[in-house]
Amino acid sequence: MKKKFCIYEAVTKQIIDKLEQGCIPWRKPWTTTSVYPCNLISDKQYSGLNFILLSMRDFNSSYWATAAQINKVGGKIKKGEKATMIIFWKLLEKKREGKEEEKIPLLRYYNVFNVEQCENIDMEKVKEEREKIKEQNNLDFKPILSAEEIINNFKDAPAIVYTGNSASYTKSSDVIRMPEKSSFINEEEFYSTLFHELGHSTGHEKRLDRDSLTAFSAFGDVIYSKEELVAEFCSSFLCHKSGISNVTLDNSASYIQGWSKFLRDNPTALVQASSQAKKASEYILNNRQVRE
């Protein structure tokens, strides 16, 4: 009997194969002005696991699209080019008579091509499609009070600036940068991302003075891997505390960024990261002056 295709196994195998070859996929930077892989039509960055999958491919361009998207803007895929698999995860709302509304997770995979694998793409049509998507996809953001309460309770929180299309924390200026709230798929996605960045900020010298943040040197190195684990655990704790589900696979896939030499050489890394994330989340919730 033919074995049933499993997205999780297929994706995991790709990453493990690269690691066994001595390659840490997420360490390879893009050489273009756009740092992260993006969808050609929506112009949105791929993150988490999809970032890793696309970063494993050797292309100078950071833009990707499905075959249907490429055809829509007048392009075509060059003969013999192979697709790269990415994943998509969302919650479907299901109503049953006499029962509360349920949310059911849906996981799908898509095949995308880098623009270097294509030809005859009409950039004017690309611009038109981006404008259409921008008009259609703006989220009518409704604050989640339990999550807002957590953010407001963070007494010495860093400044939060809404700009650009990526989320980050800069320790030198103690500033969190977030995309506009309306650009997120849903409110839970926004808070999950912000909680992750707030988790990073607790490591600042004036707060918990966490080594994995203060000693950070380069994207993808050992210390970075440890800090990503701490921030993602912290996000999960705060999502749970606020009663929202941190179910987006792209966010949770931040854990996979810790599959570097650090985790292979230190089997207690997850326990350590969880402990430090607990301190981080407690600091945000109660502003405790806890030192490692």
CA 5, CA 180: separation in Å to the nearest integer? 37
Check residue 111 and give its pLDDT.
92
| pLDDT(93) > 80 | no
Tokens of 62: 């950071």
CA 104, CA 92: separation in Å to the nearest integer? 5
Which one-letter DSSP state was computed for residue 253? G
What percentage of the chain reaches a pLDDT higher than 90? 32
**Could you identify the residue written with the tokens 């297929």?**
10
Per the model's pLDDT, the better-predicted residue between 148 and 108 turns out to be 148
In tens, the pLDDT along 78-89 reads 999 999 988 876
In tens, the pLDDT along 218-244 reads 544 556 667 877 887 788 788 878 888
Query: String of b and e for 26-60 (b: at least 16 CB within 10 Å)?
Result: beeebeeeeebbbbbbebbbbbbbbbbbbbbbebe
CA 20, CA 262: separation in Å to the nearest integer? 15
For residues 111 and 174, membership in a common domain is answered with: no
Q: Which of 84, 109, 137 is at the close of a domain?
A: 137
In tens, the pLDDT along 243-270 reads 885 443 334 444 444 444 555 566 666 6
For residues 164 and 270, membership in a common domain is answered with: yes
Tokens of 201: 């900020």
85 contacts 128 by C-beta, under 8 angstroms: no
Tell me the range of 1-15, 216-230, 276-290 where mean pLDDT is highest: 276-290
Check residue 124 and give its pLDDT.
93
CA 103, CA 130: separation in Å to the nearest integer? 29
Listed range (18-32, 63-77, 200-214, 218-232) with the worst mean pLDDT: 18-32
For residues 201 and 271, membership in a common domain is answered with: yes
For residues 205 and 259, membership in a common domain is answered with: yes
For residues 70 and 90, membership in a common domain is answered with: yes
The amino acid sitting at 216 is: F
Count of domains observed in the chain: 2
* Within a domain: 291: no
Show the domain range for 228: 145-286
- Mean confidence (pLDDT) of the chain: 77
The model's pTM is 0.54
* Within a domain: 220: yes
* Within a domain: 226: yes
Query: What is residue 136's three-state secondary structure?
Result: helix
Identify the band that residue 278 occupies on the pLDDT scale cut at 50, 70 and 90.
confident
Listed range (94-98, 132-136, 195-199) with the worst mean pLDDT: 94-98
Q: Which of 103, 118, 137 is at the close of a domain?
A: 137
In tens, the pLDDT along 132-189 reads 877 666 677 889 999 999 999 998 999 999 987 778 899 999 999 998 888 887 888 8
The CA–CA distances, whole Å, from 122 to 39, 40, 43, 74, 81 equal 15, 11, 15, 6, 19
Per the model's pLDDT, the better-predicted residue between 132 and 31 turns out to be 132
Q: Which of 77, 112, 137 is at the close of a domain?
A: 137
218 contacts 264 by C-beta, under 8 angstroms: no
| pLDDT(201) > 90 | yes
| pLDDT(30) > 90 | no
Listed range (113-122, 155-164, 189-198, 279-288) with the worst mean pLDDT: 279-288
What percentage of the chain reaches a pLDDT higher than 70? 65
| pLDDT(31) > 60 | no
Listed range (6-10, 93-97, 170-174, 235-239) with the worst mean pLDDT: 6-10
* Within a domain: 292: no
For residues 130 and 187, membership in a common domain is answered with: no
255 contacts 229 by C-beta, under 8 angstroms: yes
Per the model's pLDDT, the better-predicted residue between 108 and 33 turns out to be 108
